[in-house]
Amino acid sequence: MRYNINQEAADIAYHQQEFEKFLNHATIFITNTKMKFEEKGIKDIIQTDNSIEFKYWGLNFITKASLSFNKDKGRFIQGDLSTFLKIEDDLELIVSYKFDSIGNIEDGFTASNFALYYFVDFTKNLIKYSIEKDFKFQLN
C-alpha cells in the first residue's frame, strides 16, 4: 500500500498532539480525584501514571483514564475517567465521566469542580450496585 507519506506523517503528528492534550487532562483529573478522595477519608491511595488504586468500605477499586479513537471522525474524541470495583481478576464499572480535549467533563464540570461530584456519584453508584448485586461490604 502506498501512502502520501507527508500527509500521513502530518496526521500522525496531529494525533500525537491530541493524545497529549487528553493525557495532560487525565493527569490533572486523576490527581484531583485522589486529593478529593483523601479529603473524604480514603487512605493509602496508590497513584501510578494515570490511575489510582484504593480501598473503600473494605473493597478494592481502581480509577483510571482511557481514550477512544473515533473511526468515522478519524480522531480522538473522548476520554473517560472510570472507577471499577476489583473482584479477583474482574473489573465492574461503578462510575464513569467523559471528558473532551479541552478539559470539559461531562456537561458542565471542569478540573476544578468535578471531583466532589465524582466522589458523590461513585459512592451513590456503589451503594446502588451493592443492592443490585446483593453483595456485602467488608469490615476490614
Task: Express each pLDDT in 114-137 by its tens digit.
Answer: 999 999 999 999 999 999 999 888
pLDDT value at residue 1? 65
Q: Which domain holds residue 52?
A: 5-133
Q: Mean pLDDT for each consecutive 10-residue tract of the chain (140 residues)?
A: 83 91 93 95 92 95 93 87 94 95 86 92 96 88
Residue 85 is assigned to a structural domain of this protein: yes
With a pLDDT cut of 70, the percent of the chain lying above it is 99
Residue 84 is assigned to a structural domain of this protein: yes
Q: How many domains does the chain have?
A: 1
Within 13 Å and on the Cβ side, how many CA atoms surround 10? 5
Residue 87 is assigned to a structural domain of this protein: yes
pLDDT value at residue 116? 94
Q: What is the pairing mode between strands 90-99 and 75-87?
A: antiparallel
Residue 139 is assigned to a structural domain of this protein: no
Sign of the four-CA dihedral 124, 128, 133, 134: positive
